[in-house]
Structure 1
């Protein structure tokens, strides 16, 4: 698979993932407060079921393509403090792994019945914040290269 195709898959998956989390955190969570409790629960259940089906594939594409891209820069990653680019890329990967950890945590919380609205909200805000940091790092890498 060509580098350009891997890059396009990575960028599209990142846009879908960030857009989904942004929509959930900044729009749905506030709009659903105006709904009665039963409607809010129905909306949350419907969105949750659909998001779990779609987001697993998006995350798989995002991280799979990310691994493919990182492979091209393995020499830079071997020396993360050798240049601005390798340092920024290493930071970006660290945040991406943190987000993956959050994603795994959500799956575990849902499967064990330990998910609460407060935990979900905190995880979503954390993931959204880290995604913004990754976007800034990715743009900064273009200037550091």
Structure 2
């Protein structure tokens, strides 16, 4: 393969990756966290689901959005460390809107790493399951 052919393939690959990201951004609720669990960005779908504008969303943490009250507990610290360290995690849990309403969701986490392998960001893909989910509170 020639150098020019390789450059063309790399260019096509980059365009396809940008296209995949654009499709995800259009169709899903995406929230990006730093390695410490602070929100650094959220797409318009996430802002709508959580009833936050971007500036207010950026003032949140993972724990605040998921209603974690004991952020120093071994369970929570281990959970976030696994996410931060690149373990693909998926969970069904409620996330909290700005006004405190619970939205039952499926959340998938993926660490985004730099060239040295250090986690720069964590992407959370949030799917609103509330229209289709039974929750224990439904019994009340």
Q: TM-score range by the shorter chain?
A: under 0.3
**TM-score, normalising length from structure 1?**
0.26
Query: Which structure: greater helix fraction?
Result: 1
Query: Which structure: greater strand fraction?
Result: 2
**TM-score, normalising length from structure 2?**
0.26
Which of the pair has the greater relative contact order for Cα pairs under 8 Å at 6+ separation? 1
